[in-house]
Amino acid sequence: CSKSTVFVTDMSAPIVVTAQPGAQQMQWMQPPTGPPGCPPGLEYLTQLDQLVIMQQVSLMEVLTSWEVKNKFIITNSMGQQVYYACEESDMCMRQCCGPNRGFIMHITDNNGYEVIRAEREFKCCVGCCWCADGSCGWEMRVEAPVGQVVGYIKQRRSKWKVHLALYDEAHNHLFTTWSPCCPCQGICCRDDVNFPFTDKSERDVVANMAKQWSGLQEMITDADRFSLTFPASLDVKHKAIMIGAVFMIDMMVFETKRTTTTTEAFWEFVLRHRMMIGESEQRQSNNHHYILTCNIYNMAEDLCLSSQRDQEVRR
């Protein structure tokens, strides 16, 4: 994620990171003593009933519209940093696939230990709300600690709204959340966009995720701000799954709107330059720019297949 970030998954190993990027001016929350059986790193969640998840502003993305890896600071209600989250994804997938890319969200504590990992694998031609059940919907796997699955988040079928179901490690249905019909915000509509988490019967609200209006900066940046509230007594594993659901919702609902322009601009650039250079292909067959553009075009065409191979090799 950054040159100053090192992921540590062995909780018995020496601490190698003492600060996270962007956290120099942030007060850190002191880790409490967790109950017996609490997964390492989730002790913070035992006493919390609210988390604020703030996306960091990328100057490069503001100036160039080039989609970069998302980074988040996670704090408690008092503004003390609890976790730091950083996206791992392929550069070509971010530009070509936009919000449909596969990604891994690494969530580390203030000592640099990776305590939660949320992974959504890339799938080609999925995400349609009408046929989202089964293999045609998005799915995220949440591990806490790394290597130990605590739950899954799966997209379910709906007529229009985003519909997600949260499951434990044994695929038992825990919670359900639906998006609003029109999850929009702006100068004239600054109310929170709520995503209530209900029990599996969809009668009782257990927790709530809110997309908060963060001011005029949303008009020039893609820095989102989310609030996640839940009972303090809720199982820390279930809280970890809900944290993963926040990143899932962000990618499916809010990332979609701001990356469409970037993705279209990328393809327009590639195709337009290929067309212009293709007209003079015979005269400029050895031209460096022609070769470079063709390589970019061919790389984009093979993106889906290569990404799936990379995921298989990584596993």
Q: What is the DSSP letter of 39?
A: P
List per-residue pLDDT tens for the chain, 315 residues long: 654 455 555 544 433 344 455 444 568 888 788 788 899 999 999 999 999 999 988 777 767 777 889 999 999 999 999 999 999 999 999 888 888 999 999 999 988 999 999 999 998 888 788 888 878 899 999 999 999 999 999 999 888 889 999 999 999 999 999 998 777 766 667 788 999 999 988 999 999 999 988 776 666 666 789 999 999 999 999 999 999 999 999 999 888 655 444 445 555 555 555 666 665 555 555 556 556 555 655 655 565 555 555 555 555
Q: Which residues contact 211 (CB under 8 A, 6 or more apart)?
A: 183, 185, 192, 193, 195, 224, 225, 226, 253, 254
- CA distances to 73, 161, 163 from 258, rounded to whole Å, are 20, 19, 21
pLDDT of residue 278: 60
pTM tops 0.85, yes or no:
no
Q: Which residues contact 39 (CB under 8 A, 6 or more apart)?
A: 115, 144, 145, 148, 150, 236, 237, 240
Coil, strand or helix at 250: helix
pLDDT of residue 219: 62
CA 106 to chain centre: 9
Query: Would you say the C-alpha torsion 33, 39, 40, 42 has a positive or negative sign?
Result: negative
For residue 289 the two structure tokens come to 């720019």
pLDDT of residue 15: 36
